[in-house]
């Protein structure tokens, strides 16, 4: 006996032990494999007519033997293919498998790379596959109990194709398997999951095996109409969701689907889905963006990237058009005018649906935006902002005042004419909400939008303004206040000298309970500096230490000895670094320790504290 590869074994365990609560889907998986195998043979038969056949899938039940057989006349498999295909799980899948832990993730994973064939072991105590490859005269039998390994032996089969024979597990107290021997149950399952399969699926009960003609009339279970060709009224409950889950190997329902039929310069039907989460490889170069392209129900291309703008790469689905030549090559397709027209139509349609959701089903839109908003933001930024105007109203940002997501339209509706759109950057909502600069904005009643994605500020720069309102980073140093008092000027200068070029120093009125904060002046914000450095660029922000001249610590600094003054500047500068999410400098700890030990006089002195307290009361 050959053993399953180690990873397969683990996975088998997961499957068999019912991570798929939904056992019944095994039938869908096997039928879909059968259909794929027929697709392959049909494709070959286009150039070799000897391979043509009356294609179809048969389901046979033997109640006495407790077996259920799914047969197809597709390509079949050689002994090598049997071993490779049914003994191993795709390498990419195993990689992902190794990384993930915990049942939920594993369940997800199974959905993602589709255990397909293995799902048979949810109901089978043994699976036998008898198969003969097209053009070969040898047939093989693969058997396995799904636990340790499998055997491959020679076998007999009249024609090319594959039989998958399932010996059902015995019924237990809670688990019943006999239902899969009942034709009404199987019929329901085929209708539910496999109705659109393009080849006839027949149920071969004993009664009909004799009379083939009658069998054909009586027993074709599926309508064979692709879901996207059906009228709304013809669609079964959840049929679109089921189609999505099965086609894209996702165990979760899609968040949204769009069905559109267009007649005009180019006719087409499209069925589009927005997944509930990005697929696991979405942010890798392995992810294949695009829609399946059909010509009158015949698949021409699996993932046609030209049908979607890059920023809508998360949308999945199908386009069917009668207007393309079947034998069109990939290269010609790329330049095809009709294809471009379809792509434009789809982009408009998807954006208008998103806009509709934003207006009528905010909760759903926010769900979609939470998952895929980043892609839309990149869309607004990429290509020098070519698409920014059609996307800007779809963007959502967390509002400091309302503690929920808001659009630019909603935000600016509350602004006075020409007042800026205020924003603050940071890694998370929580971190931004603690930025020192926010206090004064809040006191003034100003709302501030949170930019948590690195791309956000780039998009704002690209937009330049929204409806006459310019964008302003609350941590930007350009709005410095001029301090007139000579002693303030002297103090700022003294702090700046101590910082030795690490930052310039200005007074600010944006702070309240914090003595200092870090900002940037000029074109490069702190956030941008971080992003560019992460990308390997050497761009530097011009750092500014903004000082709250009314703060007791600052007021007390004049009276400090030189040593204490220096340590205080070090501590303040590092405090500003921390608030912005930076690492501290090495000298920070020593400075704190000296101040705490009272080796040097601490910063605040009494008279200064009183002065500010009074000032705050006013």
Span near ligand ADP by CB under 6 A; candidates 27-35, 148-156, 379-387, 586-594: 27-35
Exposed, middle or buried by CB within 10 Å (0-12, 13-18, 19+), for 30?
A: buried
Span near ligand ADP by CB under 6 A; candidates 67-75, 213-221, 310-318, 577-585: 67-75
Distance CA 70, CA 116 (A): 14
Between 118 and 378, name the residue whose CB sits nearer to ligand ADP. Answer: 118
Kindly tell me which residue out of 8, 11, 19, 33 binds ligand ADP, with binding defined by CB under 6 A.
Answer: 33
Tokens, residue 381: 């930024």
Least distance to ligand ADP from the beta carbon of 187, Å?
21
From the list 450, 577, 588, the residue with the least C-alpha distance to 526 is 577
Q: Residue of minimal CB distance from ligand ADP? A: 116
Least distance to ligand ADP from the beta carbon of 118, Å?
6
Kindly tell me which residue out of 15, 19, 25, 34 binds ligand ADP, with binding defined by CB under 6 A.
Answer: 34
Q: Could you identify the residue written with the tokens 């990308």?
A: 535
Report the DSSP beta bridge partners of residue 318. Answer: 271, 292
Between 134 and 270, name the residue whose CB sits nearer to ligand ADP. Answer: 134
Write the DSSP symbol of residue 180: G
Between 37 and 274, name the residue whose CB sits nearer to ligand ADP. Answer: 37
Q: How far is CA 490 from CA 486, 567, 568, in A?
A: 6, 18, 16
Distance CA 581, CA 531 (A): 13
Half-sphere exposure of residue 243: CA atoms within 13 angstroms, side-chain side: 24
Kindly tell me which residue out of 12, 37, 227, 394 binds ligand ADP, with binding defined by CB under 6 A.
Answer: 37
User: Do residues 315 and 255 touch, judged by C-beta distance below 8 A?
Assistant: no
Least distance to ligand ADP from the beta carbon of 336, Å?
30
List binders of ligand ADP among 154-173 (CB under 6 A): 162
Kindly tell me which residue out of 116, 146, 317, 345 binds ligand ADP, with binding defined by CB under 6 A.
Answer: 116
Between 28 and 521, name the residue whose CB sits nearer to ligand ADP. Answer: 28
Task: Kindly report the backbone phi and psi dihedral angles of residue 430, in degrees, each rounded to the nearest multiple of 5, phi listed first.
Answer: -60, -45
Sequence-distant (6+) residues with CB within 8 A of 199 are 34, 35, 38, 55, 56, 57, 72, 224
User: Do residues 366 and 373 touch, judged by C-beta distance below 8 A?
Assistant: no
Least distance to ligand ADP from the beta carbon of 321, Å?
27
Q: Which residues of 578-601 are buried (b: 16+ CB within 10 A; e: fewer)?
A: ebbbeeeeeebeebeebbeeeebb
Between 33 and 321, name the residue whose CB sits nearer to ligand ADP. Answer: 33
Span near ligand ADP by CB under 6 A; candidates 116-124, 169-177, 424-432, 533-541: 116-124
Task: Kindly report the backbone phi and psi dihedral angles of residue 62, in degrees, each rounded to the nearest multiple of 5, phi listed first.
Answer: -125, 105
User: Residues binding ligand ADP: what is the number (CB under 6 A)?
Assistant: 16
Distance CA 378, CA 47 (A): 44
List binders of ligand ADP among 70-109 (CB under 6 A): 72, 74-77, 85-86
Q: What is the distance of C-alpha 454 from the center of its chain? A: 17
Q: Order across the sheet with 516-521: list the strands.
A: 504-507, 542-547, 516-521
- Residue 601's SS3 state is coil
- Kindly state whether residue 25 participates in binding ligand ADP, applying the rule CB under 6 A: no
Sequence-distant (6+) residues with CB within 8 A of 604 are 552, 553, 555, 556
Between 148 and 467, name the residue whose CB sits nearer to ligand ADP. Answer: 148
Least distance to ligand ADP from the beta carbon of 352, Å?
35
Between 76 and 436, name the residue whose CB sits nearer to ligand ADP. Answer: 76
Span near ligand ADP by CB under 6 A; candidates 30-38, 313-321, 361-369, 570-578: 30-38
Distance CA 231, CA 196 (A): 13
Least distance to ligand ADP from the beta carbon of 32, Å?
7
- Residue 33's SS3 state is helix
Kindly tell me which residue out of 4, 55, 117, 573 binds ligand ADP, with binding defined by CB under 6 A.
Answer: 117
Annotate each residue in 216-235 with x if it binds ligand ADP (CB under 6 A) or - if it does not, as one string. --------------------
Can you spell out the DSSP letters for 496-533?
A: HHHHTTS-EEEE-SS-SS-SEEEEEESS--HHHHHHHH
Between 75 and 448, name the residue whose CB sits nearer to ligand ADP. Answer: 75
Q: At what angle do helices 239-247 and 183-194 cross, to 10 degrees?
A: 80
Least distance to ligand ADP from the beta carbon of 524, Å?
48
Span near ligand ADP by CB under 6 A; candidates 31-39, 220-228, 350-358, 526-534: 31-39
Return the ∠ at Cα 369 (arms to 363 and 375), rounded to 5°: 170
Between 147 and 413, name the residue whose CB sits nearer to ligand ADP. Answer: 147
Least distance to ligand ADP from the beta carbon of 81, Å?
7
Could you tell me how many helices (H) and strands (E) the chain has, helices first?
A: 23, 22
Kindly tell me which residue out of 111, 114, 426, 556 binds ligand ADP, with binding defined by CB under 6 A.
Answer: 114
Tokens, residue 117: 């064939």
Least distance to ligand ADP from the beta carbon of 34, Å?
5
Annotate each residue in 278-307 with x if it binds ligand ADP (CB under 6 A) or - if it does not, as one string. ------------------------------
Between 15 and 375, name the residue whose CB sits nearer to ligand ADP. Answer: 15
Between 198 and 512, name the residue whose CB sits nearer to ligand ADP. Answer: 198
Between 244 and 423, name the residue whose CB sits nearer to ligand ADP. Answer: 244
Distance CA 528, CA 535 (A): 11
Between 153 and 233, name the residue whose CB sits nearer to ligand ADP. Answer: 153
Least distance to ligand ADP from the beta carbon of 533, Å?
42
Between 29 and 108, name the residue whose CB sits nearer to ligand ADP. Answer: 29
Between 55 and 117, name the residue whose CB sits nearer to ligand ADP. Answer: 117
- Residue 120's SS3 state is helix
List binders of ligand ADP among 363-392 (CB under 6 A): none
Distance CA 44, CA 51 (A): 7
Q: Kindly list the residues in this chain that would bind ligand ADP in the complex (CB under 6 A).
A: 29, 33-34, 37, 72, 74-77, 85-86, 114, 116-118, 162
């Amino acid at each position: 006996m050959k053993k399953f590869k180690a990873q397969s074994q683990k996975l088998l365990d997961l499957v068999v032990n019912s991570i798929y609560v939904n056992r019944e889907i095994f039938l869908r998986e096997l039928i879909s494999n059968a259909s794929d195998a027929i697709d392959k043979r049909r494709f070959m038969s286009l150039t070799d007519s000897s391979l043509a056949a009356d294609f179809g899938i048969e389901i046979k039940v033997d109640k006495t033997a407790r077996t259920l057989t799914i047969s197809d006349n597709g390509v079949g498999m050689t002994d090598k293919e049997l071993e490779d295909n049914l003994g191993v799980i795709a390498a990419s899948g195993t990689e992902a498998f190794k990384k993930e832990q915990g049942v939920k993730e594993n369940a997800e994973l199974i959905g993602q790379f589709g255990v397909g064939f293995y799902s048979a072991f949810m109901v089978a105590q043994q699976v036998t596959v008898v198969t003969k490859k097209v053009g070969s005269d040898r047939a093989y039998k693969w058997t396995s109990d799904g636990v340790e390994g499998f055997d491959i032996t020679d076998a007999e089969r009249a024609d090319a194709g594959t039989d998958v024979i399932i010996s059902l597990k015995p019924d237990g107290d809670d688990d019943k398997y006999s239902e899969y021997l009942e034709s009404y149950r199987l019929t329901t399952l085929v209708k539910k999951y496999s109705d659109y399969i393009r080849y006839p699926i027949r149920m071969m009960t004993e009664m009909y095996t004799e009379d083939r003609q009658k069998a054909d009339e009586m027993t074709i279970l599926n309508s064979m109409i692709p879901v996207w060709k059906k009228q709304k009224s013809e669609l079964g409950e959840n049929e679109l969701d089921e189609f999505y889950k099965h086609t894209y190997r996702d165990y979760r329902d899609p968040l949204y689907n769009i069905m559109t039929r267009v007649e005009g310069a180019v006719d087409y039907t499209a069925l589009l889905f927005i997944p509930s989460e990005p697929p696991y490889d979405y942010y890798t170069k392995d992810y294949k963006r695009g829609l399946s392209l059909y010509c009158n129900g015949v698949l021409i291309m699996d993932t046609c990237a030209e049908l979607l703008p890059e920023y809508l790469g998360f949308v999945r689905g199908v386009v069917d058009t009668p207007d393309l030549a079947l034998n069109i090559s990939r290269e010609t397709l790329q330049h095809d005018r009709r294809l471009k027209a379809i792509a434009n139509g789809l982009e408009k349609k998807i954006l208008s649906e998103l806009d509709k959701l934003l207006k009528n089903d905010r909760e759903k839109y926010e769900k979609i935006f939470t998952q895929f908003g980043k892609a839309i933001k990149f869309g607004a930024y990429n290509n020098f902002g070519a698409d920014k105007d059609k996307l800007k109203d779809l963007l959502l940002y967390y509002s400091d005042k309302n503690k929920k997501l808001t659009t630019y339209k909603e935000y600016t509706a509350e602004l006075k004419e020409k007042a800026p759109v205020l924003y603050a950057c940071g890694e998370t909502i929580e971190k931004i909400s603690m930025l020192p600069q926010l206090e004064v904005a809040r006191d003034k009643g100003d709302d501030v939008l949170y930019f948590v994605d690195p791309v956000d500020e780039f998009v704002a720069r690209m937009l330049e303004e929204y409806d006459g309102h310019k964008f302003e980073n609350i941590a930007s140093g350009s709005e410095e206040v001029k301090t007139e008092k000579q002693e303030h000027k002297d103090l700022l200068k003294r702090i700046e000298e101590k910082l030795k070029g690490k930052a310039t120093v200005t007074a600010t009125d944006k702070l309240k309970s914090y003595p200092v904060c870090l900002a940037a002046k000029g074109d490069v914000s702190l956030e941008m500096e971080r992003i560019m450095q992460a990308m390997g660029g050497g761009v530097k922000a011009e750092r500014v230490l903004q000082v709250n001249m009314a703060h007791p610590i600052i007021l007390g600094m004049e009276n400090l000895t030189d040593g204490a003054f220096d340590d205080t500047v070090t501590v303040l500068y590092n405090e500003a670094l921390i608030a912005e999410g930076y690492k501290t400098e090495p000298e920070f700890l020593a400075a704190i320790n000296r101040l705490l030990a009272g080796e040097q006089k601490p910063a605040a002195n009494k008279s200064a504290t009183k002065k500010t307290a009074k000032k705050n009361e006013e």
